[in-house]
Amino acid sequence: MKALITRDVDQYGVEEVTLDGPKAGELRIKMGATGVCHSDLSVINGTLPLGKPMVLGHEGAGVVSEIGEGVLGFEVGDHVVLSFAPACGDCHFCHIHEPQFCTVGMPTGLMLDGTSRVKKGEENLLVMQFLGCMAEESIVPAISAVKIDKEIPMEKAALVGCGVMTGVGAVINTAGVTPGSSVSVFGCGGVGLSIIQGARLAGASTIIAVDLADNKLEMARNFGATHTINGGNEDAVGKCKELTGGHGPDYSFEAVGVPDLMIAANNATRRGGTTTIVGVGKLTDSVPFNALMLSMDGKTIKGCFYGDTNFRSDMPMLLDLYRGGKLNLDDMVSQTYTIDEAPQAIKDMEAGQNARGVIVYE
Ligand code: CXF
Ligand code: ZN
């Protein structure tokens, strides 16, 4: 099968590899679609310090084609969306209803049993987040898969596996945005646009989108932003305050992973408001906060991993919202690619061209 593989920093390409069958607790998935996410690029450029050589891809949907020993609840032919964090249901974090932090799945690039299913001759390859789903097929832990309705197009379903879940979840689960509130979103890539959609779903009355690219701001308006600011030629923090009675938005979100933008988002937030950091930054970067003002301003700064999702219920819920016309996934897919075109999809993402580029398979 073909797969997009990174072997060295800043190097990636499509390779022909082989796949072993599923072991106990695993499913074989014929991939239907895989979204291209900035975290794939972060693996390529080393921002995410995962091992190499690695099959990329962690935002996917497909069809179950083979079932490993002991797996209950799935049949061949089931359509599934894949979670990039498996949830065992039986660890401390699963018990306290925070399955996004499930402890069985600390990603090493190998499967849960510590071995690999993807081979190039004798060589074992790693896979991103137990999935490596930028490939025609993938072996995944059954505890990473969620059954979905067969009518949902694969390229829409895939998006809830990472970007859309992360963005909408950050609004609903992490920040708890309330009806009538004001929101600012710093960074309007796939996650930022999903935050904007989440804010619209939550009933926010003012949704301010900030980006450096006018094409992204235009997309932001389409997804529900009521105001847009180009941070390259406007004072974004000052303008956010101006648009919210001088106080600042009740909720601000950072969706890029850049320290200066995290600081700007928090500076925009009103006294007593909440800043949610959704962007995944570099391990070597730190963000200072003022020791006096954090107390005086009474702001809450929250980290957010995977939109604090309980994916087994949240992902079908998002797809129900899509079916009901309330969540716009159609315009999120701005370009589709074949697996052979996957390197171009990465380049187009770097160029900021897409809301989301999606690889679709035959
Ligand atoms: C990332 C978070 C770090 C692991 C890979 C996925 N989130 C979204 O892309
Ligand atoms: Zn992602």
Tokens encoding 273:
């408001």
Alpha carbon 182 to chain centroid distance? 23
Burial of 153 (0-12, 13-18, 19+ CB in 10 A): middle
Distance 246 CA to ligand 1 centre (A): 35
Bridge-partner residues for 360, per DSSP?
33
Q: What's residue 63's pLDDT?
A: 99
- Which CATH code fits 2-151+332-360? 3.90.180.10
Q: Is residue 58 lining ligand 1, measured as CB closer than 6 Å?
A: yes
**Integer Cα distance of 100 and 166 in angstroms:** 11
Residue 38 Cα: closest atom of ligand 1: 9
Mean pLDDT, residues 7-29? 98
Q: Is-cis flag, bond preceding 99, omega within 30?
A: no
**Integer Cα distance of 92 and 94 in angstroms:** 6
Write the pLDDT tens digit of every residue in 41-75.
Answer: 999 999 999 999 999 999 999 999 999 999 999 99
Mean pLDDT, residues 212-223? 98
**Integer Cα distance of 138 and 158 in angstroms:** 14
Residue nearest ligand 1's atom 5 by CA: 39
Distance 306 CA to ligand 2 centre (A): 9
Tokens encoding 192:
């930022």
Q: What's residue 106's pLDDT?
A: 83
Write the pLDDT tens digit of every residue in 326-355.
Answer: 999 999 999 999 999 999 999 999 999 999
Q: What's residue 351's pLDDT?
A: 95
Contact indicator for 220, 290 with CB cutoff of 8 Å: no
Q: What's residue 105's pLDDT?
A: 78
Residue 166 Cα: closest atom of ligand 1: 8
Bridge-partner residues for 13, per DSSP?
5
Helix/strand/coil (H/E/C) assignment for every residue in the chain:
CEEEEEEECCEEEEEECEECCCCCCEEEEEEEEEECCHHHHHHHHCCCCCCCCEECCCCEEEEEEEECCCCCCCCCCCEEEECCCCCCCCCHHHHCCCHHHCCCCCCCCCCCCCCCCEEECCEEEEEHHHCCCCECEEEEEHHHEEEECCCCCHHHHHHHHCHHHHHHHHHHHHHCCCCCCEEEEECCCHHHHHHHHHHHHCCCCEEEEEECCHHHHHHHHHHCCCEEEECCCCCHHHHHHHCCCCCCCCEEEECCCCHHHHHHHHHHCCCCCEEEECCCCCCCCCCCCCCCHHHHHCCEEEECCHHHCCHHHHHHHHHHHHHCCCCCCCCCEEEEECHHHHHHHHHHHHCCCCCEEEEECC
Cα 250 to Cα 56, 57, 165, 301, 305: the distances in Å are 37, 35, 22, 12, 21
- Which CATH code fits 167-305? 3.40.50.720
Q: Is residue 223 lining ligand 1, measured as CB closer than 6 Å?
A: no
Nearest ligand to the C-alpha of residue 306?
1
Write the pLDDT tens digit of every residue in 175-200.
Answer: 999 999 999 999 999 999 999 999 99
Q: Is residue 349 lining ligand 1, measured as CB closer than 6 Å?
A: no
Residue nearest ligand 1's atom 9 by CA: 39
Q: Is residue 129 lining ligand 1, measured as CB closer than 6 Å?
A: yes
Contact indicator for 105, 84 with CB cutoff of 8 Å: no
Bridge-partner residues for 80, per DSSP?
62, 147
**Domain assignments of the chain as residue spans, ordered by start:** 2-151+332-360, 167-305
| 52 C-beta neighbours (distance < 10 Å), count | 17
**In the structure, what pLDDT confidence band is assigned to residue 362 with cuts at 50, 70 and 90?**
confident
* Mean pLDDT estimate for the chain: 97
**Integer Cα distance of 278 and 235 in angstroms:** 22
Closest CA to 142 of 91, 87, 76: 87
Q: What's residue 257's pLDDT?
A: 97
Contact indicator for 182, 171 with CB cutoff of 8 Å: no
pTM, two decimal places: 0.97
Burial of 79 (0-12, 13-18, 19+ CB in 10 A): buried
